[in-house]
Copies of this chain bind each other. A is one copy, B any other.
Amino acid sequence: MKQIKIFSPATIANLSCGFDVLGCCLDTIGDEMKVSLTDTPRISIEIINGANLPTDPEKNVAGVATKALLEHLGKNVGVHITITKGIKAGSGIGSSAASSAGAVWAVNQILGSPLKAKELIPFAMEGERAASGNAHADNVAPALLGGFTLVRSYDPLEVIGLPSPADLYATVIHPHIEIKTSDSRSVLKKNVTLEQAITQWGNLGGLIAGLYTNDYGLIGRSLKDVIIEPLRSILIPAFKEVQYEAVIAGALGCGISGSGPSIFALSKGREIAHKVGQFMGEVYATTKLDYDIHISKINPEGIRVIP
């Protein structure tokens, strides 16, 4: 096999109570990537529609991740990567992760799968480091493994795949504003109260228990964030209204996707997820903000080959 075409999905990181540790994989939105082996041992990147993304393989996250993987494997091969972005950069649903994870997944496939999906995470994380200065795993892990993932530890890295109830759907609304990474970080506080932390880890435990037992109600009651959301939500216009409308429409819970500005909601069933999207959209429809809405089943498999 000398060429492969893949779909690399968007992901929701943090999921309210799981800041920096939880993520889940979407199914209906993502990037398409074509990866082929070439004769000259260099990495080249071609971007079809990603405005302003670098094609220099030392700067493009897919190039950085691919280089890290090839070095690890000791493979002196050439790789050409064509990326058709379906995820808008800076939307908060794992745009850089889709490119990084997709690149290493495809290259690994084309080389005969020397590594398992989980073993690819550290190389995809190098792409994340290039994108944001922080080699986080909470988007690349669900993109590579599908479903929900928990980063139990970074040192040493341990990622755990969590089950996902069959009828769980995500609704994501992306208001077209830019939140600078520096702003989304600077609003965070270095310290939290022990009481807040206890509330947060009680909810994280509840969410994980809910995923294992298909308890949609418990998942919903656990989707709370008393630490990050109160600080970051001020950067997102009408966040509270959108959250309120999502719950009124029947969502199990609603919070900030990654570091925003996208807002996610989880619902039981496609029908409610669509209604949630409609209610969320009506909030922004009364403003001058443009926005996209995505409705997606949780994707249990992650990145996949497409024809």
Complex interface residues of chain A between 165 and 224 (CB less than 8 A to chain B): 188-194, 197-206, 208-209, 212, 218, 221-222
- Chain B residue with the shortest CB-CB distance to A153: B202
In the complex with contacts A158-B221, A221-B158, A152-B191 CB distance below 8 A? no
- In the assembled complex, the Cα of A151 lies from the Cα of B199 at a distance in Å of 10
Does A150 make an interface contact (CB < 8 A)?
Answer: yes
Among A17, A150, A153, A198, the most chain B Cβ lie within 10 Å of the Cβ of A198
With beta carbons under 8 angstroms apart, the residue of B18, B189, B205, B221 that contacts A21 is B205
Does A162 make an interface contact (CB < 8 A)?
Answer: yes
Does A140 make an interface contact (CB < 8 A)?
Answer: no
- In the assembled complex, the Cα of A201 lies from the Cα of B221 at a distance in Å of 17
With beta carbons under 8 angstroms apart, the residue of B198, B205, B218, B227 that contacts A194 is B227
In the complex with contacts A160-B206, A205-B205, A212-B212, A198-B20 CB distance below 8 A? yes
Does A19 make an interface contact (CB < 8 A)?
Answer: yes
Residues of chain B within 8 A of A206, CB atoms compared: 150, 152-153, 158, 160
A187 to chain B, nearest CB (A): 12
With beta carbons under 8 angstroms apart, the residue of B19, B158, B205 that contacts A198 is B19
Interface string of A226-242 (1 = CB under 8 A from B): 01000000000000000
Residues A201 and B153 in contact, CB atoms below 8 Å apart: no
In the complex with contacts A152-B202, A205-B150, A191-B188 CB distance below 8 A? no
Copies in the complex: 2
With beta carbons under 8 angstroms apart, the residue of B192, B194, B209 that contacts A188 is B194
Residues B201 and A160 in contact, CB atoms below 8 Å apart: no
Summarize A's interface: helix, strand, loop or mixed.
Answer: mixed
A2 to chain B, nearest CB (A): 39
Residues of chain B within 8 A of A227, CB atoms compared: 194, 197
A118 to chain B, nearest CB (A): 14
Complex interface residues of chain A between 1 and 49 (CB less than 8 A to chain B): 17-22
Complex interface residues of chain A between 55 and 97 (CB less than 8 A to chain B): none
Residues of chain B within 8 A of A191, CB atoms compared: 191-194
A156 to chain B, nearest CB (A): 9
The contact sample of 11 A-B pairs, CB cut-off 8 A, is A18-B205, A21-B198, A150-B206, A152-B202, A152-B203, A152-B205, A158-B206, A160-B218, A191-B193, A191-B194, A208-B209
Further 20 A-B residue pairs, CB within 8 A, beyond A152-B203, A152-B205, A152-B222:
A17-B201, A19-B198, A150-B202, A150-B205, A152-B218, A153-B199, A153-B221, A158-B206, A160-B206, A160-B209, A162-B209, A190-B193, A191-B194, A192-B197, A197-B197, A197-B200, A201-B204, A204-B204, A208-B209, A209-B212
* Residues on A facing B (Cβ under 8 Å): 17-22, 150-153, 158, 160, 162, 188-194, 197-206, 208-209, 212, 218, 221-222, 227
Closest 10 CB pairs of A and B: A152-B206, A201-B201, A197-B197, A212-B212, A191-B191, A21-B202, A150-B205, A20-B198, A201-B204, A208-B208
